Amino acid sequence: MGSVKDPIIQIKPTENQLGTGHFVFSDRYSVFDWGEMPDQIPDKGKAICIATSYFFEKLEESGISSHYLGVVEDGEAKKLSQLNNASDTLKVKFLRVIEPQLNGDIYDYSVFKELKGNYLIPLEVIFRNSLPEGSSVFRRLKAGSLKLEDIGLTEMPEPGTIFDQPLLDVSTKLETKDRYINWEEAKTIANLTDDELGEIRRITLQVNDLITKEAAKLGLFHEDGKIEFGFDENRQLVIVDALGTLDEGRFTFQGLPISKELARINYRGTDWHKDVSNAQKQGVSQWRDLVTPEPAPLPPKFLNSIAAIYCNYANDLTGKQWFDVPPTADVLADIKSLVE
């Protein structure tokens, strides 16, 4: 499935039947679409697994379908309340992953016109509650690749703008580098009806509201996040992958990043990041081949502080001490000293 999660398929999905298997969350991480970075973040996989399970169970209570079947412990799928210890493995329903055809550097999505159900929708849906300085939205608006009306705005926003109603954005999912697109193109390439696209947007707003409220209980501001969808065998929408974690979203505490953004901060401005940015601007599918330097490892203290943030998030979110880590306030003080 990618650089940070490992799918283990037990029953393979078919055109007419869902598959089942395990989703193993590793301690690996990725930034800037690079893929696996040189470090692993201790206990990150278990912390992510616990956090996303919490949100999947909340969604289930609200009647929203997902691929979640439970957390695996001792070979058995359990609810969070039944777990004795933190686990890095979910039991999930698997959908087919049908990839668009790459012709040169152009992706052909015509295969999706023939599909009826039981497949991953090739889109990533983004919800934005604010636009922090450096957001891709500003760059895209300036370049003209994004129009104000595409995201429901009537005037140019300022960095730091917080919205009463979240902005919804969309990108491709199955291309070498995720590509932002407008909603009309999203509807076309994924072969969605108006009603299906409307339902995706409605569910996305509900998910964002849930994550935002749960984060607020911890004193965190939910800046933005993303979710992915698929169709089951009856072409009913289901949420897949993971949601509400520090990998899938950006959170801040009094302006301080509390997410994978901390790792991005470490690499911004390095020779490696400059090469990555330049290579991605070339618009070719094999842009990684244009990057000469390899990313350097994270400083050890920075790595350990990030690990503690992930663990504390899972502890605080669920109200259970899964991980023995320093108090959140102490970790935040260390993080603040490192990023200032």
Give the model confidence (pLDDT) of 87-123 as tens digits: 999 999 999 999 999 998 899 999 999 999 999 999 9
Q: What is the pLDDT of residue 3?
A: 66
pLDDT at 1 over 60: no
Is the Cβ–Cβ distance between 172 and 120 less than 8 Å? no
Looking only at Cα atoms, what is the longest distance across the chain? Answer: 55
Is the Cβ–Cβ distance between 162 and 128 less than 8 Å? no
Rounded distance between C-alpha atoms, residue 205 and residue 200, angstroms: 9
pLDDT range class, residue 233, cuts 50, 70, 90: very high
Domain boundaries, the chain: 5-339
Rounded distance between C-alpha atoms, residue 102 and residue 319, angstroms: 46
DSSP H helical segments within the chain, as ranges? 44-61, 136-143, 183-189, 194-217, 261-267, 271-280, 300-318, 328-339
Q: Using alpha carbons only, what angle is made at residue 315 by residues 314 and 320, rounded to the nearest 5 degrees?
A: 130
User: How far is Cα of residue 177 from the mean position of the Cα atoms in its chain?
Assistant: 14
CA torsion, ordered 250, 254, 258, 264, to nearest 10 deg: 70
Structurally, at CATH architecture level, domain 5-339 sits in 2-Layer Sandwich (3.30)
**pTM (2 d.p.):** 0.91
Rounded distance between C-alpha atoms, residue 276 and residue 289, angstroms: 10
pLDDT at 339 over 80: no
Task: Render pLDDT for 28-81 as a digit per residue (tens, 0 to 9).
Answer: 998 888 888 999 999 999 999 999 999 999 999 999 999 999 999 999 999 999
Rounded distance between C-alpha atoms, residue 227 and residue 209, angstroms: 13
Give residues with Cβ within 8 angstroms of 288, minimum separation 6. Answer: 34, 35, 279
Backbone φ and ψ for 105, nearest 5 degrees, come out as -115, 15
How much is the average pLDDT of 128-139?
89
Look at residue 201 and give its three-state secondary structure: helix
